[in-house]
């Protein structure tokens, strides 16, 4: 049974999975981002990094590259995102899990949570619970990497964005706009899809994403016993929080 918070996290991805890769492969350089993740893991961990969990892995777009260097597992709440990830990386283990409350029964050298997946947890209480659960899965000297969403001060009212992408089957144009309710961005996305000679307009996708502040993210990481470092550039300009589990902890 899916509770109201899980439903809010899932909102959008079940409808959007079919066009997710077409839009984001065009928009983001996943291979380059995976290399940046790798540089951070190699530079900041106090232990050799071998086992990596990608929490909020989506369709496995980073994992297809990271698996060349690490033993990668993925986890996501959305069954439709996971189905695509499993097709993309049939050699990897993917878990259906809610980042706010998960227990996978094993540890990793690093847990990564990329492309603002953390924003879907919405409340500060669930932010703390998520970081706590990730930190609990990390070995001493290992890392939790959190790529945040935007800061609330960066919200631009009335901003429209248009993205264009394609994959083997379809061409997709996405028009999105957002409103805010306090610290939560209320995003609406319209997808125009050209497939087999016809163009259709999908039902609008609605998504909530929390804009946590720098202080909220640092507090949540510190409360979980992590030593916090911040890289302002990160993977795609949104910054990256690097939480390190003390070497003698656990």
Ligand X SMILES: C[S@@+](CC[C@H](N)C(=O)[O-])C[C@H]1O[C@@H](n2cnc3c(N)ncnc32)[C@H](O)[C@@H]1O
| Contact residues: ligand X, CB under 6 A | 9, 13, 24, 56-58, 61-62, 76-78, 81, 98-100, 114-117, 120-121
C-beta of 13: minimal distance to ligand X in Å?
Answer: 4
Q: Which is nearer to ligand X, 112 or 221 (CB)?
A: 112
CB atoms within 10 A of CB 24: 16
| Cβ count within 10 A of residue 200 | 10
Closest chain position to ligand X (CB): 58
**Of the candidates 110, 112, 104, which has an alpha carbon nearest to the alpha carbon of residue 142?**
110
Which of 186, 179, 234, 189 shows the shortest CA–CA distance to 20? 189
Instruction: For ligand X, give the closer residue by CB, 57 or 172.
Output: 57
Tally of helices (H runs) and strands (E runs) in the chain: 7, 12
Backbone angles phi and psi of 80, in degrees to 5? -75, -35
Of 121 and 141, nearer to ligand X (C-beta) is: 121
How far is CA 120 from each of CA 22, 67, 71, 76, 232, rounded to the nearest angstrom? 21, 25, 26, 12, 21
As measured in angstroms, the least distance from the Cβ of 99 to ligand X is 4
Q: How far apart are CA 242 and CA 131, in angstroms?
A: 12
In the complex with ligand X, the residue whose CB is nearer, 78 or 245, is: 78
DSSP H/E element including 54: strand 51-55
If the CB atoms of residues 130 and 245 are measured against ligand X, the closer one turns out to be 130
């Amino acid at each position: 049974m899916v509770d109201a918070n899980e439903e809010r996290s899932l909102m959008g991805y079940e409808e959007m999975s079919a066009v997710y890769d077409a839009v984001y492969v065009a928009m983001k350089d996943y291979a380059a981002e995976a290399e940046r993740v790798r540089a951070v893991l190699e530079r900041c961990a106090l232990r050799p990094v071998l086992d990596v969990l990608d929490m909020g892995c989506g369709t496995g777009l980073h994992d297809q590259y990271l698996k060349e260097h690490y033993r990668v597992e993925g986890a996501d709440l959305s069954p439709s995102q996971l189905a695509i990830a499993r097709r993309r990386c049939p050699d990897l283990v993917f878990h259906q899990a809610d980042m706010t409350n998960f227990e996978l029964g094993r540890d990793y050298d690093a847990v990564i949570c990329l492309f603002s997946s953390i924003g879907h947890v919405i409340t500060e209480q669930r932010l703390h619970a998520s970081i706590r659960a990730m930190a609990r899965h990390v070995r001493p000297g290992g890392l939790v990497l959190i790529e945040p969403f935007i800061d609330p001060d960066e919200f631009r009212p009335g901003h429209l964005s248009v993205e264009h992408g394609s994959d083997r089957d379809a061409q997709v144009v996405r028009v999105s706009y957002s409103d805010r309710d306090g610290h939560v961005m209320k995003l609406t996305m319209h997808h125009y899809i050209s497939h087999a000679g016809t163009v259709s307009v999908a039902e609008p996708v609605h998504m909530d994403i929390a804009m946590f502040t720098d202080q909220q993210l640092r507090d949540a990481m510190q409360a979980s016993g992590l030593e916090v470092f911040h890289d302002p550039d990160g993977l795609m300009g949104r910054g990256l929080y690097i939480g390190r589990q003390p070497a003698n902890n656990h």
